[in-house]
Chains A and B, each alone.
Chain A
Amino acid sequence: MNTSLATKYIEIQGVEQSFKTKKGPFCALQDINLTVAKGEFVTLIGHSGCGKSTLLNLMAGLTTPTQGTLLCANREIAGPGPERAVVFQNHSLLPWLTCFENVYLAVERVFSANENKGKLKARTEAALAMVGLTPAAHKRPGEISGGMKQRVGIARALSMEPKVLLLDEPFGALDALTRARLQDELLQIVASTQSTVVMVTHDVDEAVLLSDRIVMLTNGPAATIGEVLQVDLPRPRSRVALAEDLRYLGGRKAVIDFLYTRQAHVEKAA
């Protein structure tokens, strides 16, 4: 693999996204330029409504930009596909299928052309085992906790062996303790699979703990990238050891400073 592909695995060039509304066009994002290297963990952070999820949806191919191009491995992102797996904020599991069947649906789609059923089942079981859900494999989403559902969502995404893992506030709806545990699990999984990850979050600690780079977005409308922070903490990272690490605290300070001083969120008059 040549070096330019390794450092520019995802390439976003001059992307603008506007939506048609009753009051005329609404510009959500403009002038977005970003590259993500292979194996890199990038988080997008910003106040709610700034267009983080819009940017992630563009990378997923769920929406197409009004201007600019998005490339993944030198190919234009023309639509959604299993090579860019998405973990949705609300888990989006199909409630009438068991956890196993939810993951199997994805595995079957990606690998059934070349592999027999036994192999597909083994892949599904392996994905569930990776997130520690083997005992709950045959339960329906309604019978398990929020944290477990989110883990099934992650297992479903990982089971497809995606080139890029896109996470849209995956832990936003969870309580603090469950969130911390899943963050640690995600760190381990990403370290072992060497995945390229783009994650949307509004949690400063989560961003600093997990990412190689933090991309901070300015407030919308017409949000753009305000600042990019390199997080040079060595891996593997431990949240307990980092709690007093000066580089960690420095990174945290930089993000908080950006979010609350320079981009202090102005609530629209309701």
Chain B
Amino acid sequence: MVSAVFHSPLDAAAPQAPRDARSAPYSVAAHANGTGATATNSMNNQTTPAGPAARRQWDASLIWQGLLPPLLGLGLLVLVWELVSMGTGASIPSPKDTLAQAVQIFSDPFYSNGPNDQGIGWNILSSLQRVAVGFGLAAAVGIPAGFLIGRFTFLSRMFNPLISLLRPVSPLAWLPIGLLVFKGADPAAIWTIFICSIWPMIINTAVGVQRVPQDYMNVARVLNLSEWKIVTKILFPSVLPYMLTGVRLAVGTAWLVIVAAEMLTGGVGIGFWVWDEWNNLNVKNIIVAIFVIGVVGLVLEFALIKLATAFTFEEVKN
């Protein structure tokens, strides 16, 4: 589940060379992607001597290598979709009809005709709100827990078996427990988000704390820095990139899970909306929803990658 989060096309669009140095667990797939993109870009840059002729050549190669492949990919998707649509006798709606439906849906995203008929904007916002609450709670618990587990070997040995046991459990398996304990659909969905997003944050923060370079700790010892200065000037800044990797994985997983959780719990939300449209046999809306879910996930991922890059610094060589 976690690795699936990583195959987002934005990874290729935004090369993350500095991030590669700080490979944390799970991030291998994304890094492979990222380095690939970096390599292509640097090849492009090498063909940039001055002069108008050379510039035109560079522009051509930019279009050829940068713009054309993604457009071809999208074109292929639309083509396959059109063929499937024709093959099924339009029970899967064609791209053109779906686009028309999307335009109609997004022309009024914030209408509200009672709890079961609300605009897509409201549905997205209530899903995002659940993710934010569940994720926020998970961060509030998981990041300090990660610090403690990383700092003290005893705690790490104590909790590692528990984490290994609970982490592979599908978050949806926790939903009944949530419903039982919290006696409500909304808290149960938030609980599910909490439980699925806490593991990457604990694990990545703990790894970050364990990997603080010994050189920095030696500097702290030679300067005889106070415990407060060690935490604020050395530990926290060097753990931050790992922590943000954990946050990124957690948000990605949370966004995957909320759709499934809402299908089961109902209410207002993008997952419930998909299920509702299925009951109405409105396949066009389901396809629109799939695209919306993808775009929102992409935006979340992209924002967090940008955030992580801003806080990643060149490390001391060991």
Give residues in A with beta carbon < 8 Å to B: 60, 62, 79-82, 84-86, 88, 90-97, 105-106, 109, 140-142, 160, 173
Contact = CB atoms under 8 A, between A and B. Distances in A.
Is the contact region of chain A dominated by helix, strand, or loop, or is it mixed?
loop
- The interface size bin for chain B is 20 to 34
A80 B215 CA distance: 14
B314 A95 contact: yes
A95 B216 CA distance: 10
Contacts of A85: 222
Interface of B: 215-216, 218-219, 221-225, 229, 233-234, 237-238, 311, 313-318
Given A90-B215, A90-B317, A105 B229 contact: yes
Nearest to B236: A96
A92 B216 contact: yes
| 7 interchain residue pairs of minimum CB distance | A95-B313, A142-B314, A92-B215, A96-B237, A80-B221, A80-B222, A86-B222
Given A90-B318, A94-B237, A97-B233, A82 B313 contact: no
B215 A88 contact: yes
B219 A141 contact: no
Contacts of B215: 88, 90, 92
B222 A81 contact: yes
A81 to B, nearest CB: 5
Contacts of A106: 223
A160 B224 CA distance: 12
B233 A105 contact: yes
A62 B219 CA distance: 10
B315 A95 contact: yes
A62 B315 contact: no
B317 A62 contact: no
6 contacts: A80-B218, A95-B314, A105-B223, A105-B225, A109-B224, A160-B223
Contacts of B224: 80-82, 109
Contacts of B237: 94, 96
Nearest to B218: A62
Contacts of A80: 218, 221-222, 224
Nearest to B226: A109
Contacts of A82: 222-224
Given A62-B218, A96-B237, A90 B223 contact: no
Contacts of A97: 233
B233 A92 contact: no
B223 A142 contact: no
A131 B34 CA distance: 39
A119 to B, nearest CB: 18
Nearest to A92: B215
A109 B218 CA distance: 15
A72 B238 CA distance: 33
B314 A94 contact: no
Nearest to B213: A92
Given A62-B218, A140-B313, A142-B314, A94 B233 contact: yes
B153 to A, nearest CB: 17
B112 to A, nearest CB: 47
A93 B216 CA distance: 8
